[in-house]
Each structure stands twice: as C-alpha cells, then as structure tokens.
Amino acid sequence: MLQNNFSLQDKKIVITGASSGIGRACAISCSEWGATLLLVGRNGEELEKTKSMLTGAGNCTLLQLDLTQFDEVSLKIKALVDLFGAVDGVIHAAGISTTLPFRNCSPEKMNDFFQVNVVAALHLTQLLIKPGCVNANGASIVFITSVMSQVGESAKVLYSMTKGALLAASRSMAIELAPKKIRVNCIAPGVVDTPMSQKAYYSQNSALKEKITKLHPLGLGSAEDVANACVYLLSHAGRWVTGTQLMVDGGYTAR
Ligand SMILES: NC(=O)c1ccc[n+]([C@@H]2O[C@H](COP(=O)([O-])OP(=O)(O)OC[C@H]3O[C@@H](n4cnc5c(N)ncnc54)[C@H](OP(=O)(O)O)[C@@H]3O)[C@@H](O)[C@H]2O)c1
C-alpha cells in the first residue's frame, strides 16, 4: 500500500487571505487533504463563509486581523498559537493589487503596498517560526507572489516591486532556515478568477479581458489551480524543495 505523500493529515496550517479568492481555495484544499487550519483575514463574515465551505475532518480556528497592525498581530498570534499548537505550514495569500501609471506612484502609495504585500508577510513569518510556535521537526512556508515578480507590465510598478521583494526575501529565508528544516517557497500565479482579478481594469472590458486571456497559453486559471500547488509544497511530497518559485500561470511566462 502506497503512503499518500500529498496528505496534510495531522498538519497544522496557517492561511492568510483566507476570507477570499486564493486563500479561501487554499483553505478548502488543505481541509480536503486533512489539515487543521488557522484562517486569518480582516472580514469576519467572509472568514465564517470560508469555514462553512470546508469538508475535511480537521478543526478550523478563525482569526480576524489586519496584518499591518503589527503590535496586535504579535499579541494575537502568540496567544492563538499557544492554543493551536506548533505550526507545520503557512500560506501567505493576503495581498493587494492595483494598476497605476508609474508617474502616479507616490512614496506613500509605495509604502502602503510594501506594508501589506511584504512587511506583513515577513513579520507574521518571524512570529510563526519562533521556537515553540513552529514544529521542531520542520515546516513549510509558501508565499503567493505573482508572474509580476518575474516579468514586467505597464502600470504594474507598485505591485511588481512588492512581489519581487517577497521572492528575493524568500530565497534568503530558505537558506537561513534550512538548518531548522523550514522550507520557504513562492508560488507565482498568472491571472486567476478571484475578487481581485474581477475588480481589475481588464475585467471591465471584454476586449481587454480577451487580450489578457490570450497572454495565457492555457487560458486563465482558477484559485484551485494555485491551491493544488500549495498542497504539494506543504506536503511530504515537497520535502526537498526550498528557495524556489513555482510558476502556476498557464504558460504566461513561457513565451
Ligand atoms: N487573482 C489573481 O489573478 C492573482 C494573480 C497573481 C497573484 N495573486 C496574489 O494572490 C494573493 C491572493 O489574491 P486573491 O486574488 O485571492 O485576492 P482577493 O480575493 O482580493 O483576496 C485578498 C485577501 O487578502 C486579504 N488582505 C488584504 N489586505 C490585508 C490586511 N492588511 N490584513 C489582512 N488580510 C488582508 C483580504 O482580506 P479581507 O478581504 O478580509 O480584507 C483577502 O482575504 C495576493 O497576494 C495576490 O497578489 C493573485
């Protein structure tokens, strides 16, 4: 009988951005694969909705939190992990996006984007990898970056800047944390159907939507496509993978 190397049975996984889109799909997939979940988001009602969509037998705890409120995050995460137990994996899906010409990217906007997409993710990781918070036998951290960490696009400076920074930070983290058997990887989606992409400029116009779709040789993706890749990196099947970025982009960056 083969052992299922993709199982997340008995694993405790923290998922940010779990109130929407990719984070919600990750919660559903991780639950299906047996994980016990700590779901983080700002919108309490939407977090409850995610919880109601889970089918697995593992427990689920909700944490309503703005990840840029760093003092509150430190206090609440510590208290909750004391109850939740040592963490085996983290998916950082919380993030914001915009399309803004470079000339309009003020220092304040650059800072706002950096706080949410980079600092909040790194700060939470710091807290979760502390002794007692993380499984002493190892763990897996997954950051959701974007194809924009790898290639450019007009009016995407703010967003690309943050995703590139997250990718660079994850590689150094992977090396620093390898002695503790903590693996650190990124998943870079192309456009997938979520509230974020539904609000984007190209979704407001069918010709533009078709143009964006054509940039993906396999067409646009779904949040589940990203979640499946996360399950792989969190599971035993990904045990020798660290410091890398997996493109889950329907071929967007292959051209
Ligand atoms: N959709 C795409 O096409 C696509 C492509 C490439 C990469 N990505 C990346 O994938 C990730 C998830 O995107 P998505 O499409 O699922 O977007 P989404 O549906 O807009 O969800 C974003 C999530 O981030 C959370 N969030 C935002 N700011 C936060 C903060 N300050 N504190 C705590 N949570 C916060 C939101 O929480 P609340 O709703 O509770 O406020 C929400 O759960 C993002 O990092 C995004 O950059 C998305």
The pLDDT tens digits of the residues spanning 148-175 come to 999 999 999 999 999 999 999 999 999 9
Q: How would residue 58 be classed by pLDDT, with cut points 50, 70 and 90?
A: confident
Could you give the CA distance from residue 56 to residue 26 in angstroms, rounded to a whole number? 13
Percent of the chain with pLDDT over 90: 94
Q: How far is CA 76 from the centre of its chain?
A: 20
| Residue 94 and residue 16 in contact, taking contact as beta carbons nearer than 8 Å | yes
Name the CATH topology of 12-254.
Answer: Rossmann fold (3.40.50)
With a 6 Å cutoff on the Cβ, whether 62 touches ligand 1 is no
pLDDT at 169: 98
Beta strands in 54-208 (DSSP E): 60-64, 89-92, 139-144, 182-189, 192-193
Q: How would residue 2 be classed by pLDDT, with cut points 50, 70 and 90?
A: confident
Helix (H) / strand (E) element for 170: namely helix 157-177
Average pLDDT, the chain: 96
With a 6 Å cutoff on the Cβ, whether 248 touches ligand 1 is no
**Residue among 16, 194, 213, 226 whose CB has most ligand 1 atoms within 8 A, to mutate:** 194
Could you give the CA distance from residue 173 to residue 54 in angstroms, rounded to a whole number? 31
pLDDT at 56 exceeding the cut of 90? no
With a 6 Å cutoff on the Cβ, whether 181 touches ligand 1 is no
With a 6 Å cutoff on the Cβ, whether 219 touches ligand 1 is no
Percent of the chain with pLDDT over 70: 100
Could you give the CA distance from residue 82 to residue 55 in angstroms, rounded to a whole number? 25
Other beta carbons within 10 Å of 181: 15
Instruction: Tell me the pTM.
Output: 0.98
- Mean local confidence (pLDDT), 131-137: 95
| Residue 193 burial class via C-beta count within 10 angstroms: exposed 0-12, middle 13-18, buried 19 and up | middle
Could you give the CA distance from residue 154 to residue 101 in angstroms, rounded to a whole number? 7
With a 6 Å cutoff on the Cβ, whether 191 touches ligand 1 is yes
236 secondary structure, DSSP code: G
